[in-house]
Amino acid sequence: MDKDTLFSAFGKWVAPINPNIIPNWQSTTTLDRYVKKLDTLVFLYIFIEAQLEKRKGLRSIMRKLEHDEEFQKQLGIASISASQLSRKNNQLDPEVLQAILCNLITQLHRDARPISGRIGTVKIIDSSTISVCLQRYKWATFRKTKAGVKLHLRVAFADPDHVYPDKAVVTPARPADRSQMDVLIDESDVTYLMDRGYLDYGKYDSYCERGIRFVSRLKDNAVVEEVEELSVNTDSDIIRDVKVVLGKAHKRMQHPLRMIVTTDGRGNEVRIITNRFDLTAEELGDLYRSRWQIEMFFRWVKQNLKLTCFYGDSENAVMNQIWICLIAYCLLLLMKLELGTSRTSRGRQKKQKDQ
């Protein structure tokens, strides 16, 4: 990238992308072999811009390039056809974009400084299903009358009001949420927040043995054996705090857990289950409420980026678009963090000068 591009607005957005990742793939695979125009990096920049502007389709992306001379200079090409964009989108190995996303996540881990403190590192896991047309996406198995794609996601806290992707898996919509627990829950000394879709007694026992902490929610039909009633503050919104064992017969858990009974915003009773006995019941109740941060993340991405309508029908095209969507989000957050740091530094320098 030349210096004019580097200091352009778009150049600043994409600057955190590590340019060495793609050449590493080119040296070991056939990536971009014999490609003269639409190489992977140019393709990525084009589709990041399409994400940020929520362009409707490939022809809209093509017209943007045709009528924007500044964008042409940044990319080094003057035009591209919709068929070329489609072909590249279908042929590109999604693992290339996934590697770029992982590198951006590493930068966020360094720059965002995830919340820790007394509670420790907290990560949230959940999934979001994107419904698609069965006739066009027959590979995306879901139900007899509809197809769907599921994004299984783990997010980390950047601050009390923001989360960012930490690990992601894309599958057809049919597999249950808990089918990806082994992929998303793989770190010790981390507390995972999850909903009822991840209830698995066998894995809970394994987490207790491996030092993996979790806070989840019980299903209404869960079999609960109460072992010990723990004290609750009279002025607390916690209804009960109980030491329990889940399951029965051969499905009975070996390790006791802690069940917190509280209420949601509508006054409905909520049973929270955890293997953390070191926190107060109030802290656990507040911690579980933080799980909604991932719901807000999914909502924001669907409303502000191009996630729910795809530019191609193939599995590669869909996965590539989801990875680019997450890449665009990470770039936005990195830019926000950089601007926040710059403003803080400038403010501090001005204050010192005034003094």
Query: pLDDT tens-digit profile of 62-113?
Result: 998 998 888 888 888 988 999 999 999 999 999 999 999 999 999 998 887 6
Give residue 242's pLDDT: 97
Give residue 36's pLDDT: 85
Give residue 69's pLDDT: 85
Coil, strand, or helix at residue 261? strand
Q: Which residues have a Cβ under 8 Å from the Cβ of 223 and sit 6 or more positions away? A: 246, 247, 248
Question: What is the rounded distance in angstroms from the CA atom of residue 278 to the CA atom of residue 71?
Answer: 55
Q: How many CB atoms lie within 10 A of CB 312?
A: 19
**Do the beta carbons of residue 223 and residue 246 sit within 8 Å?**
yes
Give residue 2's pLDDT: 37
Coil, strand, or helix at residue 36? coil
pLDDT, tens only, 206-218: 999 999 999 999 9
Average pLDDT score over residue span 199-204: 94
Q: Which residues have a Cβ under 8 Å from the Cβ of 78 and sit 6 or more positions away? A: 65, 66, 72
Question: What is the rounded distance in angstroms from the CA atom of residue 204 to the CA atom of residue 209?
Answer: 9
Question: What is the rounded distance in angstroms from the CA atom of residue 233 to the CA atom of residue 231?
Answer: 7
Of the ranges 3-7, 71-75, 177-181, 243-247, which one carries the lowest mean pLDDT score?
Answer: 3-7
* Confidence bin at 8 (pLDDT 50/70/90): low
Average pLDDT score over residue span 333-346: 68
Distances (CA, A) of 280 to 29, 231, 285: 53, 10, 9
Q: Which of 106, 108, 113 is nearest to 21 (CA)?
A: 106
